């Protein structure tokens, strides 16, 4: 199991850690409800140590990624950014990506557990292109700053556009701050030298950000309907089956898997889709089948247990004949009776 650059620092500050698919991450710092409240209504600081950076250089980097990713890379200028997917030629998801354009490089923020597949898929397609994929200039930690008051914890000016980024200073350290969020809310992703991550974390806490762990973050992510690679989407998932419309350009032209996306868009539907679900009854396990009238109707992917008075919530794939909001499905999980209802789009 891999530990993040902040692991020891946060353990000394009360973080309860647990394995998260091969990466040891803080689950909580004590009061999950307060951590959740900070994400939703205040400012929360989060160890994003499951994300990592790939640095793309070379004269052909922009043109190459314009033909690889699902969003418009060619339109980016230094200080701009975008979110995107890397797909297979069959239109299935390899990785989700946050792209930040610099003067001399593209910084590609991907899940560390998908990094090898991401780089391998791209390197197979670098033929005569002047493109090199490598590590960032220095070992880098990613820190999330979530919530409507996140901006008050930062010095420096970052443009208001989504994905915009700028170099700022925190605790005498150079930091790149990007307007992006793990839960589609107001917030920032910070790129920090690994050695500077502890003092930057402490400075953000001193400025009012509350440390939050994965229990609170996952709760909010699921409520917001944000899919996670390796959990809610993978190499078996078509891009149109998950709610990532903001990652798909309808105007940029050809990219890897674009024909499949265009064909599905023209047809007007897919056979299944990832939807938000409310849960009534014992909390089931991820992967549990969903049934309707005795027939399989889908399966669960992500589950968040009850939090205070808030009931359990989930994400799951549901067949198109059952995905209307309010549709009731049963979880096929042995003798326990658990019902889920399809929720409206957030």
pLDDT digits (tens, 9 = 90+) for 245-268: 999 999 988 999 999 999 988 887
CA 13 to chain centre: 25
- Mean pLDDT across the chain, nearest whole number? 96
The CATH architecture one would assign to domain 271-346 is: Beta Barrel (2.40)
282's enclosing H/E stretch is none
Question: What pLDDT is attached to residue 335?
Answer: 61
- Point out which residues pair with 304 in neighbouring strands: 313
Residue 19's pLDDT is 97
User: What's the pLDDT tens digit per position in 98-144?
Assistant: 999 999 999 999 999 999 999 999 999 999 999 999 999 999 999 99
Per DSSP, the three-state class of 187 is strand
pLDDT band with cut points at 50, 70 and 90 for residue 94: very high
**Distance between CA atoms of 299 and 332, rounded to whole angstroms?**
9
- Kindly report, residue by residue over 155-210, the tens digit of the pLDDT: 888 999 999 999 999 999 999 999 999 999 999 999 999 999 999 999 999 999 99
Predicted pLDDT at 156: 81
d(CA 89, CA 92): 7
Three-class DSSP category at 25: strand
Report yes or no: 269 and 318 within 8 Å, Cβ to Cβ. no
What is the residue extent of each domain of the chain?
1-269, 271-346
Helix, strand or coil, per DSSP, at residue 204: helix
Give tens-digit pLDDT for 287-327.
999 999 989 999 999 999 999 999 999 999 999 999 999 99
Q: Which residues pair with 313 in a beta bridge?
A: 278, 304
> What percent of the chain has a predicted confidence (pLDDT) above 70?
99
For 259-288, b/e burial (b = at least 16 CB within 10 A) is ebbeebeeeeeeebbbbbbebeeebbeeeb
Q: Is the pLDDT of residue 23 over 90?
A: yes
Which helix (H) or strand (E) segment holds residue 117: the answer is helix 115-123
Residue 336 pLDDT > 80: no
The rounded Cα 188 to chain-centroid distance in angstroms is: 13
Query: How many percent of the chain have pLDDT more than 90?
Result: 93
**How much is the pTM?**
0.96
Cα separation, 312 vs 267, whole angstroms: 34
Q: Which pLDDT band holds residue 275 (cuts at 50, 70, 90)?
A: very high
Find how far residue 236's CA is from the centre of its chain: 18
Strands 23-28 and 44-47: unpaired
How many other C-beta atoms can be found within 10 angstroms of the C-beta atom of residue 243? 20
pLDDT at 333: 78
- Checking if the pLDDT of 273 tops 70, the result is yes
- Give the tokens for residue 18: 């647990």
The confidence score (pLDDT) of residue 243 equals 96
Distance CA 154, CA 208 (A): 10
Q: Is the confidence at residue 337, as pLDDT, over 90?
A: no
Alpha-helix residue ranges (DSSP H) falling in the chain: 7-11, 32-41, 61-66, 115-123, 197-206, 214-224, 258-267
What is the DSSP code string of 26-61?
A: EEESS-HHHHHHHHHHS-EEEE-TTEEEEEEESTTH
- Collapsed DSSP state (helix, strand, coil) of residue 219: helix
> Do the domains 271-346 and 1-269 match in fold?
no
Q: Does the domain spanning 1-269 belong to CATH 3.20.20.150?
A: no
């Amino acid at each position: 199991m891999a530990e993040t650059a902040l692991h020891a620092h946060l353990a000394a500050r009360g973080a309860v850690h647990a394995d998260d698919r091969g990466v040891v991450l803080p689950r909580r710092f004590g009061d999950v409800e307060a951590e959740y409240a900070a994400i939703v209504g205040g400012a929360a600081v989060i160890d994003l140590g499951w994300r990592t950076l790939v640095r793309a250089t070379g004269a052909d980097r922009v043109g190459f990624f314009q033909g690889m990713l699902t969003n418009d890379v060619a339109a980016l200028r230094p200080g701009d950014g975008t979110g995107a997917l890397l797909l297979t030629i069959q239109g299935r998801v390899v990785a989700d990506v946050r792209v930040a354009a610099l003067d001399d490089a593209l910084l590609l923020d991907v899940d560390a557990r998908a990094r090898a597949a991401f780089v391998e898929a791209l390197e197979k397609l670098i033929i005569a292109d002047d493109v090199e994929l490598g590590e960032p200039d220095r070992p880098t930690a990613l820190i999330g700053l979530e919530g409507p008051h996140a901006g008050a914890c930062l010095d420096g000016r970052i443009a208001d556009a989504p994905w915009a980024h700028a170099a700022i200073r925190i605790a005498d350290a150079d930091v790149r701050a990007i307007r992006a969020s793990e839960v589609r809310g107001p917030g920032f992703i910070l790129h920090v030298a690994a050695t500077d991550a502890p003092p930057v974390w402490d400075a953000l806490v001193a400025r009012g950000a509350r440390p939050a762990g994965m229990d609170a973050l996952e709760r909010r992510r699921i409520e917001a309907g944000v899919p996670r690679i390796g959990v809610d989407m993978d190499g078996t998932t078509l891009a149109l089956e998950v709610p990532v419309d903001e990652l798909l350009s309808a105007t940029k032209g050809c990219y890897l898997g674009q024909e499949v996306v265009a064909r599905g868009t023209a047809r007007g539907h897919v056979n299944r889709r990832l939807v938000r679900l409310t849960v009534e009854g014992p909390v089931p396990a991820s992967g549990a089948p969903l049934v309707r009238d005795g027939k399989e109707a889908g399966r669960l992917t992500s589950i968040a247990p009850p939090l205070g008075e808030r009931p359990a919530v989930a994400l799951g794939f549901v067949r198109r004949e059952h995905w209307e909001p309010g549709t009731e499905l049963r979880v096929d999980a042995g003798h326990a009776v658990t019902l889920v209802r399809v929720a409206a789009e957030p």
